[in-house]
Amino acid sequence: MSNTAKIRYEYLLEQIKLHDLAYYKFDNPTISDYEYDELYRELINIEKSHPDWILSDSPSQKVSGENNATFTAVEHLSPMLSLNNGLNSLDIESFDRRCKEGSNLTEIEYCCELKFDGLAISLLYENGFFVRAATRGDGLVGENVTNNVLTISSIPRELKTTNRPTRVEIRGEVFMSHQDFKDLNDRQERLGLKKFANPRNAAAGSLRQLDHHITAQRKLSFFAYGVGDIVPESKRPRTHMELLNQFEEMGFDICTEKAVVNSYIGLIDFYERIGRKRNLLPYDIDGVVYKVNDYKVQNKLGFLSRAPRFAIAHKFPPAEEITRVLAIELQVGRTGAITPVARLEPVIVGGVTVTNATLHNESEILRKDIRVTDQVIVRRAGDVIPEVLSVVMASRSISAELFRMPNLCPICHSQIIKLDGEVIARCSGGLFCPAQRKQAIMHFASRKAMNIEGLGEKLIEQMIDTHLINTPADLYRLGFKELMEFDRMDSKDKKLASNLLSAIENSKKTTLAKLIFSLGIRHVGETTAKDLAKRFKSLSALLEVNFETLIQVKDVGPVVANSILIFMSQSHNREVINQLISMGIDPLVDIVDDLTEHPLFGKTIVITGTLPTLSRDQAISLIEGSGGIVSGSISKKTNYLLAGDSAGSKLEKAISLTITILSESELLRMIESK
Ligand code: IVH
């Protein structure tokens, strides 16, 4: 039991860390806040039963948030903490009980606020003048975003009050209203720029712009909700509600949705009242926050490592609405993966208009039995793509037909194939399918494949969009004239064009293994490609393979064999291969791959100590790539000992057996000598 819990615990740790990175560092969350909270809650529950498992890097021990190295660091004068979450009324009941027990009071006053869905920020004012602004970062050190914050009109440069503290850190949330978010995305679209997924990401992306002129073009808002350090302490008001009112006098915007209540019932009433008007608010919130109103009582309750005991966020469940499925369409991803998407009658879910929802895959559609014309419940969980939760069966029309995955790709009309044991259906069009073409050519040109230098993603995209190329084989037909006529190149780019042409020409001098790898056949990585090259010896032979011959190849099982056969059965893939062959790109397996002449070929090498630049794995792959054999222990048969720093007994043994000792640079010289 405990073993399973430990495995689950480690899984949760890893997941939460990854999601923290995605959210805080890349402003690009991959799960909803709700799902994140569920993971976090499970982690905390396990930690409660197994406190001995908790290490200092557990997410529970620190405030999430990674600093982005491009801004200068600012140390907060008092730490910026986060809030514990309550997901249901039981959590709130026990929060109320804990507050009463911890303070020895029978009744507690709480200040209720909204939980704004933006990002926390700390503003330092000295003698009433704005000095600097910092993001939360890891809670102790944040990023200096002063120049960007200066572009937010609702943040006063000078506090309006005369009764000013010598120094004060004002804490609050920077966010973007629905209207400003819409305006920004309309503008992004007009300019052909990437649109933001939601207001929170737009706010975070705008605040963390290195160029504050860009921030100035985006409308950000700010609500103050707390104070960090304050000097003198006597300037701190007695209650939180008093503080909120003082913020207004100082010239800050504060949210008018706030209340003081004195019981658990009062908390729940506030939650429900706000829940009812959530969709009418002009900005996103993901819950409400309850804080013990009296600061003396707050101090008494104190903190528990990452969050205060005197406050809690009561989160809303993800927003849900009912709408109708207008159509089920298929999207073809870059690797041919087919994702069914529901086109929906537009509906506002949690303040955002939803017109599409992912249906994940065929089995999900069948499991939920989603049909065109059905009324469905759609959930938009904060930051992720909306999804269809379930069908309102009572309203199903008798003519609604069961969903069937079409046989042909909607883009290129190749066969759609689902391999045994896989949930994802894929278009078998490969190089032929425009949806996959770009990715396929990028793979074809990449370093480990045909290694065409200077042929990057942008160039490939433009060449495909203008139909200059359609398949990898077309690259070898390009001439100087076509390249010069191509939009992207102007006369200054003559050199670029001729460099590209010679890189394309040079790529012909390759090994069969690399050529096979570059075709991008599913499940055929570098090693399998090498094995196939050794066995079939030419590209033409590969066109004639069958299941029996394929499974005789080392490490090729039925899955890989089938994938190769499917690829080779598509006439357009055969055509590309034939074109490559007819253009003279059909290297013999042993021309370049022949390592028998290499000084390391067949030599047994032992590695010891720490090498100055290479990792052990890198050294092994270099040696093996030159035909050498890496062994773990020294014997009379060892040819070389590759020794780095702090080499121990192996070095002594090698010396006693008069085995040649190599340094890293000597090894590299030998490898390059061929
Ligand atoms: S108080 C010590 N009040 O929620 C407590 N936070 O998980 C400090 N937030 O990073 C936070 N609305 O970005 C507080 N009314 C509110 C809030 C709020 C949103 C965010 C804030 C913080 C996170 C806490």
> Using one digit for the tens of pLDDT, what is the confidence trace for 192-217?
667 776 788 899 989 988 778 888 88
Q: What is the pLDDT of residue 488?
A: 54
Q: In the predicted model, is pLDDT for residue 579 greater than 60?
A: yes
Query: What's the average model confidence in pLDDT over 515-526?
Result: 90
Buried b (16+ CB within 10 A) or exposed e, 107-142: ebbbbbbbbbbbbbbbbbbeebebebbbbbbbbebb
Whole-number Å distance, alpha carbon 111 to ligand 1 midpoint, is 13
Q: Which of 108-122, 171-185, 492-506 has the highest mean pLDDT?
A: 108-122
Atom of ligand 1 minimally distant from the CA of 255: 15
Q: Kindly report, residue by residue over 73-83, the tens digit of the pLDDT.
A: 999 999 999 99
Query: What's the average model confidence in pLDDT over 266-291?
Result: 94
Ligand 1 close to Cβ of residue 247 (< 6 A): no
Q: What is the pLDDT of residue 491?
A: 57
Distance (Å, whole) CA 384 – CA 394: 28
Ligand 1 close to Cβ of residue 225 (< 6 A): yes
What token pair was written down for 94? 């026990």
Assess whether the previous peptide bond of 232 is cis (omega < 30° from 0). yes
Whole-number Å distance, alpha carbon 170 to ligand 1 midpoint, is 13
| Per-residue confidence band for 128, with pLDDT thresholds at 50, 70 and 90 | very high
Atom of ligand 1 minimally distant from the CA of 136: 10
**Better-predicted residue by pLDDT, 331 or 486:** 331
Cβ contact 155:132 at 8 Å: no
Inter-residue long-range contacts of 435-441, CB under 8 Å, 24+ positions, other chains counted: 435/332, 435/333, 435/334, 435/336, 435/409, 435/411, 436/332, 436/334, 436/335, 436/336, 437/464, 437/470, 437/471, 438/334, 438/464, 439/334, 439/335, 439/520, 440/472, 440/520, 441/469, 441/471, 441/472, 441/475
Q: In the predicted model, is pLDDT for residue 603 greater than 80?
A: yes
Residues 6+ apart with CB under 8 A from 163: 235
Buried b (16+ CB within 10 A) or exposed e, 492-531: eeeeebeebbebbeebeebbbbbbbbbbbbbebeeebbbb
Q: What is the pLDDT of residue 17?
A: 80
Query: What's the average model confidence in pLDDT over 271-299?
Result: 94
Q: In the predicted model, is pLDDT for residue 329 greater than 50?
A: yes
Pocket probe for ligand 1: among 229, 241, 286, 289, the residue whose CB has the most ligand atoms within 8 Å is: 289
Inter-residue long-range contacts of 386-391, CB under 8 Å, 24+ positions, other chains counted: 386/349, 386/354, 386/356, 386/357, 386/358, 387/357, 387/358, 387/359, 387/360, 388/325, 388/342, 388/357, 388/359, 389/320
Q: In the predicted model, is pLDDT for residue 34 greater than 70?
A: no
Cβ contact 250:128 at 8 Å: no
Q: What is the pLDDT of residue 652?
A: 87
Q: Kindly report, residue by residue over 619-630, the tens digit of the pLDDT.
A: 887 887 777 888
Residue 542: CB atoms within 10 A of its CB come to: 23
Q: What predicted TM-score, i.e. pTM, was given to this entire model?
A: 0.52
Q: Choose the weakest-confidence range: 60-74, 636-650, 658-672.
A: 60-74
**Better-predicted residue by pLDDT, 68 or 466:** 466
Ligand 1 close to Cβ of residue 82 (< 6 A): yes
**Better-predicted residue by pLDDT, 661 or 193:** 661
Percent of the chain whose pLDDT exceeds 70: 92
Amino acid of residue 421: G
Atom of ligand 1 minimally distant from the CA of 173: 13
Instruction: State the burial class of residue 162 (Cβ atoms within 10 Å of its Cβ: 0-12, 13-18, 19+).
Output: exposed
Q: Which of 47-61, 384-398, 475-489 has the highest mean pLDDT?
A: 384-398
Q: What is the pLDDT of residue 588?
A: 58
Q: Which residue of the set 115, 291, 368, 603 is catalytic?
A: 115
Pocket probe for ligand 1: among 33, 78, 115, 223, the residue whose CB has the most ligand atoms within 8 Å is: 115
Q: Kindly report, residue by residue over 90-115, the tens digit of the pLDDT.
A: 999 999 999 999 999 999 999 999 99
Ligand 1 close to Cβ of residue 227 (< 6 A): no
What is the Cβ-side half-sphere exposure of residue 24, based on CA atoms within 13 angstroms?
A: 22
Q: In the predicted model, is pLDDT for residue 69 greater than 50?
A: no
Positive or negative, the CA dihedral 91, 97, 101, 103 is: positive
Query: What's the average model confidence in pLDDT over 450-478?
Result: 88
Cβ contact 250:162 at 8 Å: no
Q: What is the pLDDT of residue 399?
A: 94
Nearest CA to ligand 1 atom 6: 115
Ligand 1 close to Cβ of residue 228 (< 6 A): no
Query: What's the average model confidence in pLDDT over 236-245?
Result: 97
Token pair 């029978």: residue: 106
| Per-residue confidence band for 250, with pLDDT thresholds at 50, 70 and 90 | very high
Ligand 1 close to Cβ of residue 113 (< 6 A): yes
Query: What's the average model confidence in pLDDT over 178-189?
Result: 86
Q: Kindly report, residue by residue over 35-67, the tens digit of the pLDDT.
A: 777 788 888 888 888 888 888 778 777 655 544
Q: What are the CA-CA distances from residue 181 to residues 80, 372, 547 (Å)?
A: 27, 31, 55
Whole-number Å distance, alpha carbon 451 to ligand 1 midpoint, is 50
Q: What is the pLDDT of residue 592?
A: 43
**Better-predicted residue by pLDDT, 537 or 291:** 291
Q: In the predicted model, is pLDDT for residue 190 greater than 80?
A: no
Whole-number Å distance, alpha carbon 117 to ligand 1 midpoint, is 9
Ligand 1 close to Cβ of residue 120 (< 6 A): yes
Q: What is the mean pLDDT of the chain?
A: 87
Q: Which residues on neighbouring strands pair with residue 312, listed in sequence order?
A: 290
Nearest CA to ligand 1 atom 15: 115
235 given a catalytic annotation: no
Cβ contact 452:507 at 8 Å: yes
Q: What is the pLDDT of residue 33?
A: 65
Q: What is the pLDDT of residue 24?
A: 66
Q: In the predicted model, is pLDDT for residue 568 greater than 80?
A: yes
| Per-residue confidence band for 122, with pLDDT thresholds at 50, 70 and 90 | very high
